[in-house]
Amino acid sequence: MPFPNEHAARLRDPNDMDLDSFRRTAGGRRITAPGTEQDFVSVEVPDNIDIIWAKLRGKAEPADPPLAQALRFPTKDWTEAQARKWLADNKIKPQEFEPATGTEAKTTPKGIHTPGCFATHMGLWMVEPHEFGRIVEAVKAGAFPMKAAFPEESNGEFQPGPDENGLALVPLFGPMTKGASKYEGASTVMTRLAVKDAARNPDVRAIMLHVDSPGGMVAGTAELADEVSAASRIKPVHAHIDDMAASAAYWVASQATKVTANRLAQVGSIGTVAVVEDTSGAAELAGVKVHVISTGKHKGGFVDGAPVTKDQLADLQERVDGMNEHFLAAVSAGRGMSMGEVRKLADGRVHLAEQALALGLIDEISSLEDAYLELARVSGLEARKHDYDDESGKRRMTASAEATVLLGRLRDAEK
pLDDT tens-digit map of 223-269: 999 999 999 999 999 999 999 999 999 999 999 999 999 999 999 99
Identify the domain boundary among 106, 130, 153: 106
pTM for the model stands at 0.60
* Residue 60 host element (H or E): none
Residues 124 and 229 in one domain: yes
**Residue 327 resides in a domain:** no
Residues 114 and 206 in one domain: yes
Residues 42 and 175 in one domain: no
> In this structure, are residues 181 and 149 in contact, taking their beta carbons and an 8 Å threshold?
yes
More confident residue, 263 or 125: 263
276-291 residue pLDDT tens: 888 888 888 888 888 8
User: Residue 41 and residue 38: Cα distance in Å, rounded?
Assistant: 7
Identify the domain boundary among 84, 106, 128: 106
Question: What's the confidence (pLDDT) of residue 120?
Answer: 43
Residues 87 and 117 in one domain: no
Question: What's the confidence (pLDDT) of residue 151?
Answer: 38
**Residue 92 resides in a domain:** yes
**Residue 393 resides in a domain:** yes
Residues 183 and 233 in one domain: yes
Residues 102 and 134 in one domain: no
**Residue 328 resides in a domain:** no
Counted domains in the chain: 2
Residues 27 and 174 in one domain: no
How high does pLDDT run on average in the chain? 78
Residues 33 and 130 in one domain: no
Strand partners, 311: none
Pick the range with the lowest mean pLDDT from 4-8, 199-203, 280-284, 332-336: 4-8
Mean of the pLDDT values across residues 218-224?
90
Kindly tell me if the per-residue pLDDT of 178 is higher than 60. Answer: yes
The CATH number given to whatever domain includes residue 196 is 3.90.226.10
Residues 160 and 258 in one domain: yes
**Residue 281 resides in a domain:** no
Identify the domain boundary among 40, 75, 106: 106
Mean of the pLDDT values across residues 117-123?
47
Question: What's the confidence (pLDDT) of residue 211?
Answer: 94
> Residue 42 sits in which domain range?
6-106
Question: What's the confidence (pLDDT) of residue 54?
Answer: 86
**Residue 17 resides in a domain:** yes
DSSP state string for 337-395: --HHHHHHH-SS-EEEHHHHHHHTS-SEE--HHHHHHHHHHHTT------PBPTTT--B
Residues 267 and 193 in one domain: yes
**Phi, psi at residue 4, to the nearest 5°?**
-75, 130
**Residue 378 resides in a domain:** yes
The β-bridge relationship of strands 237-246 and 266-268 is: parallel
Question: What's the confidence (pLDDT) of residue 142?
Answer: 55
Kindly tell me if the per-residue pLDDT of 85 is higher than 70. Answer: yes
Question: What's the confidence (pLDDT) of residue 14?
Answer: 81
Kindly tell me if the per-residue pLDDT of 67 is higher than 60. Answer: yes
> In this structure, are residues 2 and 72 in contact, taking their beta carbons and an 8 Å threshold?
no
Which range, 218-222, 231-235, 305-309, has the best average confidence (pLDDT)? 231-235
**Residue 321 resides in a domain:** no
Kindly tell me if the per-residue pLDDT of 392 is higher than 50. Answer: no
Residues 213 and 73 in one domain: no
Within a 10 A sphere around the Cβ of 278, how many other Cβ atoms?
Answer: 16
Residues 117 and 163 in one domain: yes
